[in-house]
Amino acid sequence: MAAAVDHVVAVREAAGPDVDLCIEVHGRLAPAWAIEMARRLEPFRPLFYEEPVPVENLAGLVKVARTIRIPVATGERLCTKFAFQEILRLDAVDVIQPDLCHAGGLTEVKKIVATAEAGYVQVAPHNASGLVGTATAVQLDAVIPNFLIQEYFVAQASWIDDVVLGGPRVVHGEIVVSDRPELGVDLSEEAAAVHPFQSSSGERASSTRADRPGSERHRELEAEHDRVRRPARPARIDDVLDVRLDLEPGGHLDDVSPLEDQLVVLGEGARSPL
């Protein structure tokens, strides 16, 4: 515990007083230890304290939230509006973190967000996805009044811009919401085929014998990739509904549209883009 506090001290000293620190516990502490850790971290003014106890321990979460003086965040592993309703009803959270890929997509998460808004609870969408996931989350952020901060991955594959064109970029802690159609990004299926999915063991789980590296088909794909540097088609809503966001086919996103010239603030505390 002392070593963890030392790390936070080092980050606060290096970043200065104006940078928000988000403390990720990942549900690994018992309530008593989560409370003690929060007491030690309080002087460093964290923006929030994420998943202090296991997500299924609602009684423990309530105990922590009512004892400590740091805002509590949770929700990346909750998959329905009913689960979020329970933690909101118990007043066990200050910041919810729905993941668009887990909690039903844009339409469903907007319902969750509205429930949180009624309880003065802010939203920091969880996002462990790539550029398409980030682009989708940004569309949500731009149209909700209780948006706080957006998680995104800085490190991406070196070839990601060949596959996802027009992906969101962070500049001075902000993302400009795209005014392009739908999610604002384009997908190149030819480029994606050159970089098939690899399992944690390094195997190309999605490749067939015919398109593995060294095969004639793989050489054809690489040649096509070199020749065609434009996207095959715009990213469609169906890509997100059927694959990324786990919604049923035929869902609609009519109530979520790009907003021109709106900024999503990532690192400057609680600010609404609206």
Name the residues annotated as catalytic: 26, 126
Domain-wise residue ranges, the chain:
2-8+15-159+251-265, 189-229
Q: Which two tokens stand for residue 64?
A: 């922590």
Output the six-digit token pair for 193.
């085929």
Q: Which of 274, 8, 13 is nearest to 144 (CA)?
A: 274
Q: What is the side-by-side order of every strand in the sheet holding 95-96?
A: 22-24, 48-50, 72-74, 95-96, 122-123
Which pair of tokens denotes residue 86? 């329970």
Distances in Å between the Cα of 133 and the Cα atoms of 59, 143, 184, 232 are 32, 16, 11, 19
Residue 77 contacts residue 55 (beta carbons within 8 Å): yes
Structure tokens at 216: 């004639």
How confident is the model at residue 158, as a pLDDT?
Answer: 87
State the Cα–Cα distance between residues 153 and 53, nearest whole angstrom: 24
Q: Answer yes or no: are the C-beta atoms of 134 and 127 closer than 8 Å.
A: yes
Backbone dihedral region for residue 214 (phi beyond 0: left; psi -120 to 50: alpha; all else: beta): left
Residues in CB range of 263: below 8 A, 6 or more apart? 174, 175, 176, 177, 273
Amino acid at 53: V
Please give the chain's pLDDT, 274 residues, in tens: 999 999 999 999 999 999 999 999 999 999 999 999 999 999 999 999 999 999 999 999 999 999 999 999 999 999 999 999 999 999 999 999 999 999 999 999 999 999 999 999 999 999 998 899 999 999 999 999 999 999 988 878 889 889 999 889 888 888 888 888 889 999 999 999 998 887 666 665 544 545 555 667 666 666 665 654 444 444 444 443 333 333 344 444 344 333 333 334 344 443 433 3
pLDDT value at residue 154: 81
Rounded (10°) CA dihedral 266, 31, 99, 94: -50
2-8+15-159+251-265: CATH topology is: TIM Barrel (3.20.20)
Q: Is 151 helix (H, G, I), strand (E, B) or coil?
A: coil
Task: Select from 268, 237, 272 the least CA-distant residue to 255.
Answer: 237
Of residues 168, 165, 176, 178, the one with CA closest to residue 234: 165
What pLDDT was estimated at residue 257? Answer: 38
